[in-house]
Amino acid sequence: MSGLNVDTLIDDPGTRVIVCCGSGGVGKTTTAASIGVRAAERGRKTVVLTIDPARRLAQALGLEELGNTPKQVSVDGFAPTGELSAMMLDMRRTFDDMVLAHAGEKRAEEVLSNPFYKTISSSFSGTQEYMAMEKLGQLAAEGTWDLIIVDTPPSRSALDFLDAPQRLSTALDGRMIKLLTGPVKAGGWGIRKVVSAGFGLFAKAVSTIVGGQLLADASAFVQAFDGMFGGFRERARKTYELLRSTGTAFVVVAAPEPDALREASYFVERLEAESMPLSGLVVNRTHPVLAKLPAAKALTAADNLDAAGEAPLAAAVLRLHADRVAQAQRERRLVNRFTKAHPGVPLVHVPAMAADVHDVDGLRRIGERLTGA
């Protein structure tokens, strides 16, 4: 098993996009921001696209509000030889911009004021992922930055990032809605005849449940959308190709916990299956043992001290050390399980910081840890 060194990645001018992915709560955003700070300080012209940063991390990067366009990070004590910009994704606005860019003014207005558009653009579960992809495509097309770091939306499953755009495409594809609103007219479905009776009932049932108005809105939306759809799909395809190109590096982030590592496993397998360029796994927030003293020995000594009523501080130190040894062993066991299944995946352990990170200095220290130092 080789190690993952983030410097090798960011020092290679061929690396144009780094995608940080992983399940929710593993520290993806912080990892992305740390890589960004380090890349900028090593001379890259960098932009970090974050999705949902913790408030204090956003403040650390000077991201007080959703701007939806990159803003240069300028804070005290940060004077990189390269450059760092950052932005938070505003999914609704990205969608609006996309509609405006693809449709004539009149048609865009029709789409934007459709109630169904409001649902799709704000609460459909795949929209955030789709828009993150769209924004990545835009930033890449602009050509202003030579390194784009993307943080992926928070979701339980890391796979959502790859699957959601497809789901949304299906929803926006005209065929489904045509089937629901007028199954007889829908062409090109070989199975139509077989199911048409059942389908008519289904369409009726759906319309009863979701209400005729909603279906009508959806239908109007899809019709207005139809002309733009080719353009949308083409863009999504281009971004997908960008993700598969050699200039892209996927960095999977996981906490040393069973669920997070299981998700990381799924994701690694999926990247391999789709020939997407995987750089490695960041095992985030580990607890390495800092003193060579076996846990059993520490506990025996602590018991002896307690029994003698002596040195309460030393006894406490010994006990917390024993806890730490047990935790480190557990983490090692879990990571070993991952490595056994994916022996070729380089990885780096990033020891946990004692406190939450919310300034550039903290990000810098995580950056150091990302090199395996």
Partner 1 sequence: MTTPVVGWTEQIARARLHVVTGKGGTGKSTVAGALALALATGGRRVLLVEVEGRQGIAQLFDTQPLPYSEEKVASAPGGGEVRALHVDVEAALLEYLSMFYNLGFAGRTLRKMGAIEFATTLAPGLRDVLLTGKVKECVTRTDESGRHTYDAVVVDAPPTGRIVKFLDVTKAMADLAKVGPIKGQSDGVVRLLHSGDTAVHLVTLLEEMPVRETMEAVGELDGADLRPGAIILNRVRPPRLPAHSVTAAADGRVDAGRVREGLTSAGLALSADDLDGLVEETVEHAVRVQAEQRARERLAEVDLPAVELAELVDGVDTGALYELAEALVEQGVR
CB of 88 to partner 1, least distance (A): 17
- Which residue lies nearer to partner 1 by CB, 15 or 265? 265
The rounded distance, in Å, linking the Cα atoms of 80 and 11 is 14
Q: How far apart are the first and last CA of the chain?
A: 17
Least spacing, CB of residue 297 vs partner 1, in Å: 7
Cα–Cα distances in angstroms (integers) from residue 179 to residues 175, 186, 188, 190, 323, in the given order: 6, 6, 11, 13, 61
Alpha-carbon dihedral 306, 311, 313, 318, rounded to 10 degrees: -60
Nearer residue to partner 1 within complex by CB, 51 or 147: 51
23 close to 158: Cβ distance less than 8 angstroms: yes
- Smallest distance, Å, CB 152 to partner 1? 14
Q: Do β-strands 45-50 and 83-88 pair in parallel, antiparallel, or remain unpaired?
A: parallel
Could you tell me where the beta strands, DSSP code E, fall in 260-332? 278-286
CA atoms within 13 A on the CB side of 373: 11
For residue 146, the minimal CB distance to partner 1 (Å) is: 33
Residue 123 CB, nearest approach to partner 1 (Å): 5
Please, which residues have CB within 8 angstroms of residue 163's CB and are 6 or more apart in sequence? 126, 129
- Residue 243 near residue 19 (C-beta atoms within 8 A): yes
Whose Cβ is closer to partner 1: residue 112's or residue 352's?
A: 352
Shortest CB 184 distance to partner 1, Å: 15
Residue number with CB closer to partner 1 (92 or 167):
167
| Whole-number Å distance between alpha carbons of 141 and 319 | 56
- Closest to partner 1 by CB, 44 vs 321, is 321
Helix (H) or strand (E) holding 42: none
CB nearer to partner 1: pick between 221 and 250: 221
CB closer to partner 1, 71 vs 92: 92
Angle between helices 28-41 and 360-369 (to 10 degrees): 90
Nearer to partner 1, 149 or 315 (CB): 315
Query: Contacts by 103-106 with C-beta closer than 8 Å and gap 24+?
Result: 103/224, 103/227, 103/228
C-beta of 13 vs 294, nearer to partner 1: 294
Matching residue, tokens 């130092």: 373
d(CA 360, CA 40): 12
In the complex with partner 1, which residue's Cβ is closer, 41 or 160? 160
Nearest approach, Cβ of 65 to partner 1 (angstroms)? 19
Buried b / exposed e across 146-174, counting CB within 10 Å, b at 16+? bbbbbbbbbbeebbbbbebbebbbeebee
Nearest distance, CB of residue 63 and partner 1, angstroms = 17
Question: In the sheet where 83-88 sits, what is the strand order?
Answer: 71-72, 83-88, 45-50, 147-151, 17-21, 248-254, 278-286, 347-351
The minimum distance between CB 3 and partner 1, in angstroms, equals 22
Question: Nearest distance from residue 355's CB to partner 1, in Å?
Answer: 5
